[in-house]
Amino acid sequence: MDLHTAYPALSDLKRRAQRRIPHFVWEYLDSGTGMEATKRRNRQALDQIGFVPSALHGPIEPDLSVKLMGRTYPLPFGVAPVGMSGLIWPDAEHQLARAAAQAQMPFCLSTVATQSPEDMRPSLGADAWFQLYPPKDPDIRKDLLTRARMAGFSTLVLTVDVPVASRRERQMRSGLTNPPRLTPRLLTQVAMRPAWAIGMARRGLPTMRTLANYTQGPMKARASNAHVGYLLRTSPDWDYVRWLRDHWAGPFVVKGILRGKDAAELERIGVDSIWISNHAGRQFDAAPATIETLPEIRSACALPLLFDSGIESGLDILRAIARGADFVMLGRAFHFALAALGPRGPAHLVELLSEDLRANMGQLGLRELTHVRATPMIDLAKPAR
C-alpha cells in the first residue's frame, strides 16, 4: 500500500488513530481543558496567517536544515513529550525515540512517561531531551538529573506551565483515572480495539516508571485526573530555574512561556532556549494562541525559540518560523501517526511534513527556512480589499 495515497495528510492519520485506540485513550490524547477554546484558538490563529506567493523565481531546491543550540538538524521539527505516551500506543516511547534517531530529530521524554530514562537508553539517538516536571524534594531533583544524564539525555527541558492539575473534563467523562483502572466500561472499549489490546496484553498496563522509586508508602488522596506526579512536583519560581541552570551542564530549555518579560528574564538567568507553549490547550482555557505570542517574545530576547501547539502541517511550521520561531515540536501529531500505522507511522509523518514544507517553500520562492520572515504576510481573517 502506498501510504502517501492512503494517508496524504495528518488528518488521515488522526482519523485512523481514533479507530484503533479505545475511546478513553482517545479522549486523553485529543482533549483540552474547559470548553477547549484555547485548543481551537491555536488552530484558528494559525489558519489566519497567510503569505503572498512568489512568481518567476525559477527552480527552487529548499534547504530544510536549521541550527539550534549548537547543532544542525536536517529538519526544523522534533518529537515533543507526552505524558503516559505508552498508554496511547504500546511501546510508544521506544518507537518514537527510534524514529526520531533515524530522522536525526530531537526526541523529548516526559517525566511522566511510561518508560524511565534508563529504559530508554537502547533507543536513544544523539539528541535525547528529558522533560522535567519540577520535583519539590531537592534529593529527588538531583537524582532525576543524574539519572537523565547517565541514560544519555543531553538537553534538559523544564516545564513551568503546570502549577496545578488542570480539569480536562473530556478525560474525566471518559472514565480514565490515574493510574488507569480497567472498569467494565473501559474493558468494553478495549475489546473493540484488538491491535491496541494485544499490544497492551504483552506489556501490561503502563505505569510511570520514572517516578516508581519515589512513590513508596501510602498515597495521599488526589483527584482522579491528577496523577502521582502531582504528589512530587512543585510550582517552580525563579530561584528554582537558577538552581537547575547551576546543576545541569548541558543545554537547558524552559517550556511553557507566553510573556515577553518572562523570556527576557530567562535570558538573563542563562537558559539556552525558550519553548513557547500553552500546553496545547490542556492547562488553561483562556490562554492566547501560542502563535499570537511569538512576535512579542521574539522582540524580548535573542534566544532560540521552540514552538508547539496546534501544528498540523509543513505550512504551519512555516507560519511559526515566519512569526519568529526557530524550531517546532509536535506531540499529538506523532502519537496520531504511531496509533494509525504502528512503527511505520512516525516516519510517514516525517515525510508528510517535509514534503509539505518543500511544496510551500517552492510556492513562496524560499531556498532557506528563515527567508520566510521576509515574505509578505497577510491576515486571512480580514476581508480582501
Contacts of 345 (CB under 8 A, 6+ apart): 13, 334, 336, 337, 338, 339
Pairing of strands 66-68, 71-73: antiparallel
- Nearest of 129, 137, 89 to residue 110 by alpha carbon: 129
C-alpha neighbours within 13 Å on the C-beta side of residue 103: 27
Cis peptide upstream of residue 194 (ω within 30 degrees of 0): no
Cβ contact 349:333 at 8 Å: yes
Q: Quick one: 220 exposed, middle or buried, by C-beta within 10 A (0-12, 13-18, 19+)?
A: exposed
158 pairs with which residues across the strands?
A: 132, 254
> For residues 103-130, b (16+ Cβ closer than 10 Å) or e, as one string?
bbbbbbbbbbbbbbbebbeebbbebbbb
Q: Using CA atoms, how far apart are residues 20 and 149, in angstroms rounded to an integer?
A: 35
Is residue 279 part of the annotated active site? The answer reads yes
Catalytic residue selected from 23, 279, 335, 348: 279
- Nearest of 168, 272, 282 to residue 225 by alpha carbon: 168
Write out the three cell numbers for 362.
517552492
Cβ contact 251:130 at 8 Å: no
Count of residues in the chain: 385
Q: Using CA atoms, how far apart are residues 307 and 290, in angstroms rounded to an integer?
A: 8
Give residue for cell 521539527: 77
Write out the three cell numbers for 186.
473501559
Catalytically active residues, by annotation: 279
